[in-house]
Structure 1
Amino acid sequence: MTLSGWRRDRGTASLSEVHKSVPVSSVGPSWRKALAFFGPGYLVAVGYMDPGNWATSLAGGSRFGYALLVVALISNIMAVILQSLCARLGIATGRDLAQACRDAYPRVVSWPLWLMAEIAICATDLAEVIGTAIGLNLLFGIPLEIGVIITALDVFLILYLQNKGFRWVEALVITLLGVIAVCFLIQIIMADPQWGAVIRGFAPTTDIVTNPDMLYLALGIIGATVMPHNLYLHSGIVQTRDYGETVEDKRSAIRYATLDSTIALTFALAVNASILILAAASFHATGHTHVEELGDAHSLLSPLLGSAIAPSLFAIALLCCGLNSTVTATMAGQIVMEGFLDIRLAPWLRRLITRVVAIVPAAAVTIAYGESGTAKLLILSQVVLSLQLPFAIIPLVMFTANRGKMGALVAPRWLTVLAAITTVIIVALNVNLLFDFITGYGSTAGY
C-alpha cells in the first residue's frame, strides 16, 4: 500500500535480516494468530523494568510504603497508549519511527534528531551496563570494572541467536523475565506484605500532591517510565511478523500486536510493583526509610527477611534485568542508526560500536570512583533520557494522527487525544525533573 503522505520510498526494511521472518497464518483460530504476535511486547516491556528504574521503586517503597503504587499504575497506562501507537506506525506504514522521521523532516532537523536518539540510547545502554555489573558484583563478587567489560559479550550472544531466528531472541528475553518474576514472587512471599494496604496503594491519594517529597518521587517514577529507545524499538521489531499487505491484514496485525504489548506491559507493572511492595514490606515496615542504593537493599534483605536466599534472589533478578536490557538497547541502536541515516553496518559491528560507547564512560567511572560514581552516572543518564524524550514522543503522535501518512489505519481520534494528553504530562514532568536536577532540589529532598 503506497501512502501519499510520505515523500520517498522507505528504503531497506527495519532490521532487514529478520524482517517478516516470523510467519503469521491467514487462517485458523484467533488464539493461534495471537501466539504468532507473542514476543515483541516483552522485548519492549524490558525497558520498563530496567535497572535504572529499580532505585526509584526502592526509594518509593522504603520511604512511603505502598502509597506510590498508584503512580506505577498510571505510568503503565501511559506506556500502553504510546506503545500501541508504535505498533500501529510500524505495521500501517512499514516504517519504524526513525525511518518516518528521516522521511518527514529535512536533514537539518532529522540529523540532530538522530544524534539525540543516539545519545539517549547510549545513556540507556550505560544504565544497563552498570546495572548488569552491579548484579555480577552482588552475585559473584566480580569487581564492578570487570563486570562492565563482561557485559560486552552479549554482542556475540545476540548475533548468534538472531542468526538462528528472531524467535530465539524473544525466547531468551521471555525466559529471563520468567526468572525475574519467580525471584520476586519468592521474596514477596517471604516479606509477607499487608495485602489490604497493597490494594489501597493502587487508589489515588491527595498525599501525593500535598507532600512535596512524595510528589517529587512520584514525578520521578512517571517521568522515567517511558524511554525513547522503546518507541524506536517497538516500531521496528513488530515488523518481524509476516502479517500480509492488505488493509484488513494490517488492521488485524495492529490488534494482535497491541494485545501483545498490553499484556507484556501489565507484566512489567507487576514486576515494578513487586519491587515497590518488597521495599515497603521489608524496609518501610522495619523503619529503614532511606534505602535507595541497590547494594544497600541487597545487604539488608537477609537480616530483615531472615533468609540467606533473599539477597541472592534479588541479585539474580537484577542481573537478568540488566542482561535483558542490554539486548533490547543494542537492538534499538541498530534501528535508530539504520533508520535515520539509511546506513547499513554488519549487526555485530553496530552493536559493538554501541556497547563500546557505553562501556568506556562506565568503566572509567567505576575504576576512578567505585560504586558511588556509578550511582551519579545513573542519575546523569536519566537526565539525558528526559531531554531526548519529547523529540521521540511528539513525532510519533503526529505521524499516527496523520491520515495522509497512515491511510485507513490512522489512529482513532480518542486514542490521539489520550496520547496527546499523555505526551503533555510526560514532557512537563521531565522538564520539571530536569529543572529540579539543575537547581538541586533533588538533593534537598533527600534523593
Structure 2
Amino acid sequence: MGTENAVGGSPGRAARAEGESETETAPGSLEGLNSSVPIPSENAGFWRQYRAFVGPAFLVCVGYMDPGNWGTDLQAGASFRYGLLWVVAVSSFMAIIMQVCAARLGIVTGKDLAQACRDFLPSWTRWPNWFACELAIGACDLAEVLGSAVALNLLFHIPLFWAVLITAFDVLLILAFQGIGMRFIEALIVTLVATIGGCYFIEIFVLPQTTPSFLEMGSALLTPGFRSEGMLLGAIGIIGATVMPHNLYLHSALVRTRQLGFDEPTIRRAIKFNTIDTVLALSLAFLVNSAILVLAATTFYGREGAALASGEIVSFDKDADWIRVAYLTLAPLLGAGSASALFAVALLASGQSSTITGTLAGQVVMEGFTHWRIRPWVRRFVTRAVAILPAVVVIGVNGSGSVTDLLVLSQVVLAVQLPLAMFPLLYFTSSKQRMGRFRNGWFLLTVGWASCLLITALIVYGLPEAVEKAWAVIAG
C-alpha cells in the first residue's frame, strides 16, 4: 500500500496500527485496481503530476448527473424557470465539500469509508450500515437502469419493458472494462462525460431556439429565495438527487488506486491534486445540471403542453414524466429533430457511465463492510437483479408511464441513506485521532457540518411526502 517512512505521529500509521488485527487480513478494496496507477516524483512538473492524479473525481461526478438528477432538474426548470438555479449551485458546492472530505479520508488513513466504518465504529453498526448501503446502491442502480432503458426506447423504439431487460446484460461490458485497468475506465468515463457536456453545449449555445437569457440566469443565481409555492419541495428534490451517498464510499476508495505512501509529503501532494480534481469534476457536473434546468426553463416554462407530430397532446403538469416529455416535445417545440436526438444520446451516456461507477461502488461497500471477496460478475448480477426486479414488475403492471414513480422511489431510498454516510465521514475526517495533522481545518469543519445538518434537515422535512409517494408506487 505504500512506504513506511511516515513522519512521527503519521495518521496513516496510527490508523493502521489501531485496526491492525482486522486490516492485516483485509487488503484494500477494488482488488486488481488498488495501487495500480504509478505517480511521478514530487520534482515532476505540475501538469505531469496532475495527469497522474486526475480521474477518481471524474468517475464520481457522473453520479451527480445521473437520470435521477435529470428528472428533478427538468421539473424545476419547467415549473419555476431559473428560480431554483441557485439551489443547483448550493447543492453542488456542498457535494464538493463532502467529496473532498471523502478523498482526504482515503488518502490519509489508507481506508475507504466502508472500511473506516467497520473498523472505527461500534461493531453492532456494521451490518445495519452495510444493509442500508446496499439498498442505496440498488436504488441508484434502479435510476441508471431506467435512464439507459428510456434512452434505448427513445432512440431505437424498443419497448421499455424489453429495454430494461437489455440493460441487465451490460454487466459483461463492465467486467471487460474492469479487466483492462483503471486508466482505461477513467478515460471511458471522461469520454462519456464529455459526450453529455457536448450535447448540452450544442443545445444551449448552438441551437438558437434554446439560447437562454444569461442576464436573467445571473440574477437568479445572485438572488436566492423561495418565491412560489412548491419551490421548497423542488429544492429538496434537487439536493436529494445531487449529493449521492455511494459516491462518498467510492471516492474514498478510488484515491487509493494511485501508488501512495503514508509519508507527509506524499499525503500533502495527494490531497492537493485530488482537491483540484474534485473541484473541476464537480464544477462540470454543476454546469451539466444547470444546462438541463436551463433547457427546461427555456423550452417548457409557461406552457401547458405541446402537440406531437402524431397529433397527440402532451401535458406539462406536476405528474409528468419529464425525461420522456423532454424528448418527445423538444422536436415539435424547437422545430428540429436534432435536439431530441442529442438529449437521448446524452441520457444514454449518463445511464451507462453511472452504471460503471455504481458497479465499483457496490464492490467497495461489500468488501469494506464484510471483507467478502466474491467474483465481480456475481456481485454485478446480484446488484443488477435488485435494481431490475422492481422496474420489471412496476413497468409490467403499470406500463411505461411509471418511470417517474420509480425514480421517486429510488430518490427516497437514497435520501434515507445519505445521513448514514455523511455523519461518519465528517466524524472521521474531523478527528485528530484518525487524521492527525490532516484533520479538517476550520473551513471544512464549519462548512462540512453545516452542509451535513442542512441536508439532513431538508431530508427530514421532505421525507413524509416522499415516503407517501413511494408507498403509492409500491402499493400500485
TM-score, with normalisation over the residues of structure 2? 0.89
Aligned-residue offset at 1:205:
3.0
Amino acid at match of 2:461: N
Is 1:2–2:31 an aligned residue pair? no
Aligned pair count? Answer: 441
Whole-angstrom distance in 1 between the partners of 2:429 and 2:441: 9
Query: Which residue does the alignment assign to 1:319?
Result: 348
- CA deviations over 1:161-207 (Å, ceiling 9, x no partner): 2211111111111111111111111112321211211222211333x
Is 1:229–2:246 an aligned residue pair? yes
Aligned-residue offset at 1:402:
0.8
Query: Which residue does the alignment assign to 2:131?
Result: 115
Query: Which residue does the alignment assign to 1:21?
Result: 36
Partners of 1:397 and 1:419 within 8 A in 2: yes
Partners of 1:59 and 1:292 within 8 A in 2: no
SS of equivalent to 2:336: coil
Aligned-residue offset at 1:358:
1.1
Structure 1 residues not aligned, in runs of 5+: none
- CA deviations over 1:304-338 (Å, ceiling 9, x no partner): 11101111111111111011111111110000000
Partners of 1:98 and 1:335 within 8 A in 2: yes
Aligned-residue offset at 1:287:
5.5
Amino acid at match of 1:100: A
Partners of 2:321 and 2:401 within 8 A in 1: no
Aligned-residue offset at 1:296:
1.0
Partners of 2:136 and 2:414 within 8 A in 1: yes
Partners of 1:247 and 1:408 within 8 A in 2: no
Is 1:265–2:278 an aligned residue pair? no
Whole-angstrom distance in 2 between the partners of 1:334 and 1:366: 28
Aligned-residue offset at 1:292:
4.9
> Which of 85, 106, 122 lines up with 1:106 in the alignment?
122
Tell me: CA distance 1:129–1:237, structure 2 relative to 1, closer, same or farther (3 Å): same
Of 157-166 and 387-396, the range deviating more from structure 2: 157-166
Partners of 1:223 and 1:433 within 8 A in 2: no
Task: Give 1:159-198 correspondences, 5 Å limit.
Answer: 159-188=175-204, 189-190=206-207, 191-198=210-217
Structure 2 residues not aligned, in runs of 5+: 1-11, 306-315
Aligned-residue offset at 1:353:
1.4
Whole-angstrom distance in 2 between the partners of 1:275 and 1:49: 10
> Which of 300, 306, 313 lines up with 2:329 in the alignment?
300
SS of equivalent to 1:432: helix
Whole-angstrom distance in 1 between the partners of 2:297 and 2:120: 47
Tell me: CA distance 1:181–1:442, structure 2 relative to 1, closer, same or farther (3 Å): farther
Is 1:380–2:409 an aligned residue pair? yes
Whole-angstrom distance in 1 between the partners of 2:47 and 2:428: 30
Query: Which residue does the alignment assign to 2:367?
Result: 338
Partners of 1:301 and 1:310 within 8 A in 2: yes
Aligned-residue offset at 1:378:
1.3
- CA deviations over 1:23-75 (Å, ceiling 9, x no partner): 11013101111111111111110111100111111111111111211110001
Tell me: CA distance 1:440–1:175, structure 2 relative to 1, closer, same or farther (3 Å): closer
Partners of 1:62 and 1:279 within 8 A in 2: yes
Tell me: CA distance 1:159–1:429, structure 2 relative to 1, closer, same or farther (3 Å): same
Partners of 1:436 and 1:442 within 8 A in 2: no
> Which of 381, 385, 410 lines up with 1:356 in the alignment?
385
Q: Let me know the Cα RMSD of the aligned residues.
A: 1.8
Of 367-376 and 141-150, the range deviating more from structure 2: 367-376
Query: Which residue does the alignment assign to 2:273?
Result: 256
Query: Which residue does the alignment assign to 1:146?
Result: 162
- CA deviations over 1:93-141 (Å, ceiling 9, x no partner): 1100000000012332111000001011101101110111011101111
| Identity over aligned pairs, percent | 45
SS of equivalent to 2:65: coil
Partners of 1:85 and 1:400 within 8 A in 2: yes
Whole-angstrom distance in 2 between the partners of 1:283 and 1:442: 29
Whole-angstrom distance in 1 between the partners of 2:278 and 2:47: 16
SS of equivalent to 2:64: coil
Is 1:279–2:279 an aligned residue pair? no
SS of equivalent to 1:421: helix
Of 106-115 and 229-238, the range deviating more from structure 2: 106-115
